[in-house]
Amino acid sequence: MPTPEEIKTKFERLDAALQSTPLPTLSGQTRKAKAGEFMWMQSSHLGEQFKHSDSRNYLYLKVDGTIEIPDTREAFKQGVFDIVEITPPGQPTPEEKLTTAKDKPFAYGARKPNAGQWHGKLQGGWEGSFD
């Protein structure tokens, strides 16, 4: 298992490669992506395997720093990297969240003072807590 520093280096290398490699989308256009859109999966003979968090498709960061994009009919190797943003009816869009978050305390993802803490009773009668 790689160390946190090794993982950080993998993402830095990916970010640098993405600067010069626009990724294809379903519309046939390309777009600039950021390393934060990906999850590192493993190292392989092809290089570092990264999986896109929205499209679930893989790309490979080769040892020479170039990106290889599989383009097949196989699941997770379909060569497109669209960002999926689904907004349920009545909910603010991502753009609205960004413009209104600065006006609301603890709005949209801001950490509340007790986030990560739980005290109480679960279904079935089990009682407990964690911090």
Q: Dig out the tokens for 96 from the structure.
A: 């609205």
Domain assignment present for residue 121? The answer is no
Q: How many domains does the chain have?
A: 1
Residue 101 has pLDDT above 60, yes or no: no
Amino acid (one-letter) located at 86: I
| pTM exceeds cut of 0.85 | no
Domain assignment present for residue 63? The answer is yes
Domain assignment present for residue 128? The answer is no
Domain assignment present for residue 19? The answer is yes
Q: What secondary structure letter does DSSP report for 20?
A: S
The DSSP result for 28-83, as a single string, is S-EE---GGGEEEEEEETTEEEEEETTT--EEEE-TTS-EE--BSSSTT-B---PP
Domain assignment present for residue 31? The answer is yes
pLDDT in tens, 12-30: 999 999 999 999 999 899 9
Domain assignment present for residue 117? The answer is no
Domain that holds residue 84: 1-109
